[in-house]
Amino acid sequence: MDPRRRSLRRLNVARAVAVTSLLLASVVIEVLFNPGRSLTPFYLLTGCAYAAVLTYALLDRFLGGGPLMVAVQVCGDAILVFGFLVATGGGLSPLSFLLAVPVMMAAALAGLRGGVYAAGIVGGFYALLLAWSSWHLPPTELAPGRALYLAVSHLVAFAALGALGGVLADRLEQQGEQLEEQRQDLIALRALHADIVASIGTGLMTTDTEGRVSFINRAGLEILRADPIQLHQRRAAEIFDLAESFPQGAGKYLAAGRRFRFERDWQRPSDGQRLFLGFSVSYLKGPEGAHQGWLIVFQDLTEIASLEQQVRTRERMAALGEMAAGIAHELRNPLAAICGSVQVLSGGGSDEEEAQRLREVVLRESDRLDRIIRDFLKFARPGDHEPRACDLVEMMEQLGRLLRKSPELHPDHRVEVLAGPGSTQALVDPDSMRQVFWNLASNALKAMPDGGTLSIQVEGHGGDEVLVAFRDEGHGMDAATLKAIFQPFHGRFEKGSGLGAAIVYRIIEEQRGRVQVVSHPGRGTEIRLILPAAGDRGAGLASTVEGRTQRCL
């Protein structure tokens, strides 16, 4: 509804209340205080006022809040006020202050121009009323000078009131229009924001500081296949079957300026379908940056994971041929050396020194064959693992003591173990993991022949996993090498069987872990092992290491 029309309706209601009060006051005055004096003129004016109220109410249906309706009401009220002045003494009436009412109405409803016009008209009519009263009254009651003073003073007062009220009304109207524009812009912005959130293909969930759900967008509901009413105020950890400290435990990562991201298998309760979800957790902040809760972004990566699995399967199938060729190549060389040496020895034409040299060749190549076969069996045969809770930081300290005796550790090498936030207790087979850690650490040192720092970081990951990252400052790998790093017989270093990385990959997969590799030529390599945490759905995000400690070996 038009604000001016609303104001006119309220004014009409106030007018009816004022007229009713005046009517009651007139009755009380006539009955109690001055029963001998007739107040018939007041009753007539009150009746006219009621008629004006009804007339304004009828005209509202046709004129609304337009300028004509404003002019009708201002003029009507001015006529009623002049009627009361005539009935109470004309120009000398003590009710002359009521003339300010139509002036204020005009200023409030029509602005500066309306207020000035109304002040001039009301002041002019009041001057005529004073002239009429001066003409009919003796000079002792209303002298010409006094009449002129009253006319000028009232006119100035009305003009000032109309101008000031009009200026204020115009400013209020301008501010009202600006506020309305801003309100419409805000409504449009909120609608756009809602459309954007609803159109995002990624699940978006907000929670309070305790992890209770307050909002889920359309894509999130499609992933969860659940009723939003049932999800409201439930804990996010319960919905996604994660550690009870989710997502509050992410605060330690975010406080350190790090992102909190992880992936997880999840079974949808509504239909039992297993999905592979990716999560990202961040602070939900208010207008002043206050922490109001958590923002959880989750995405269904099942199809992507399936495609990756298909690619890995095809790569493994293709690798079978390469592996067969690699085995043949690796076995052919030592067998050829052994056969050649045996043939020479069988001929009997060699002296004792040459025969000793040939026997050493046979023994050396036999050892090489044995090592190749043992490594291949480790790779091809499933391991006999016995997972149990292990503190990976403690295992890294043991690894450091062993590295001191390793021939790969040079004086220019530096090894540091970093314990980050979160649980470092993993559910793994310790013997297998020692083999994995030794292999990765040895390769990292070999990748830095001129020296450098090997950083081994252990920290919680995603609530029910543990992350172990090996970072070196070596020569790094190009895209082709990185793609084939876990394929058999694609070793990067001499004097190796080429099966070490493949064995690492198989052991980690057998223990329900994942391997990620990030490498850039000339900038080093980072190999990340993501292992299951010990405990019920992992040890949670409760840190076993307060703060961030560093151990240098």
C-alpha distances in angstroms, 230 versus 95, 175, 220, 297, 422?
68, 44, 14, 19, 31
Q: Is residue 228 located within the same domain as residue 92?
A: no
In a domain, 47, yes or no: yes
In a domain, 197, yes or no: no
Q: Is residue 162 located within the same domain as residue 26?
A: yes
Q: Which is nearest to 203 in space by CA: 255, 292, 268?
A: 268
Instruction: Give the whole-angstrom CA distance, residue 274 versus residue 276.
Output: 7
Q: Is residue 323 located within the same domain as residue 446?
A: no
Q: How many domains does the chain have?
A: 4
Domain range for residue 533?
Answer: 385-553
In a domain, 330, yes or no: yes
Q: Is residue 81 located within the same domain as residue 132?
A: yes
Q: What is the CATH number of the domain that holds 371?
A: 1.10.287.130
Q: Is residue 340 located within the same domain as residue 392?
A: no
pLDDT by 10s per residue, the chain, length 553: 577 778 878 887 887 888 788 777 766 765 665 555 556 777 787 888 888 888 888 888 888 878 888 888 888 888 888 887 887 777 787 778 888 888 888 888 888 888 888 888 888 888 888 888 878 777 777 777 888 888 888 888 888 988 888 888 888 888 888 888 898 988 888 888 888 877 788 899 999 989 999 999 989 999 998 888 888 889 998 999 888 888 888 887 888 777 888 888 899 998 889 899 999 999 998 877 788 899 999 999 888 877 777 776 676 656 556 666 666 766 777 788 788 777 777 776 667 777 788 778 888 888 877 777 776 666 666 566 788 899 998 888 888 888 877 777 888 888 888 888 878 889 998 888 888 998 899 888 888 888 899 999 998 887 778 999 999 998 888 888 887 787 766 656 555 556 678 778 888 888 888 898 998 888 899 999 999 988 644 433 333 333 333 333 3
Q: Is residue 50 located within the same domain as residue 169?
A: yes
C-alpha distances in angstroms, 324 versus 290, 490, 497?
61, 13, 14
Q: Is residue 86 located within the same domain as residue 50?
A: yes
Contact 200, 217 (CB under 8 A): yes
202: three-class secondary structure by DSSP: coil
Q: Is residue 24 located within the same domain as residue 173?
A: yes
In a domain, 550, yes or no: yes
Q: Is residue 339 located within the same domain as residue 294?
A: no
Q: Is residue 376 located within the same domain as residue 400?
A: no
Q: What is the CATH number of the domain that holds 228?
A: 3.30.450.20
Tell me which of 277, 300, 323 is where a domain ends.
300
Contact 448, 551 (CB under 8 A): no
DSSP symbols for 491-536: -SSTTS-S-HHHHHHHHHHHTT-EEEEEEETTTEEEEEEEEEBSST
In a domain, 107, yes or no: yes
Q: Which residue has the tokens 């006319």?
A: 151
Tell me which of 235, 268, 300 is where a domain ends.
300
In a domain, 173, yes or no: yes
Q: Is residue 156 located within the same domain as residue 219?
A: no
Tell me which of 381, 410, 437 is where a domain ends.
381
In a domain, 520, yes or no: yes
For residue 362, how many C-alpha atoms fall within 13 Å in the half-sphere facing its CB? 14
Q: Is residue 271 located within the same domain as residue 314?
A: no
In a domain, 196, yes or no: no
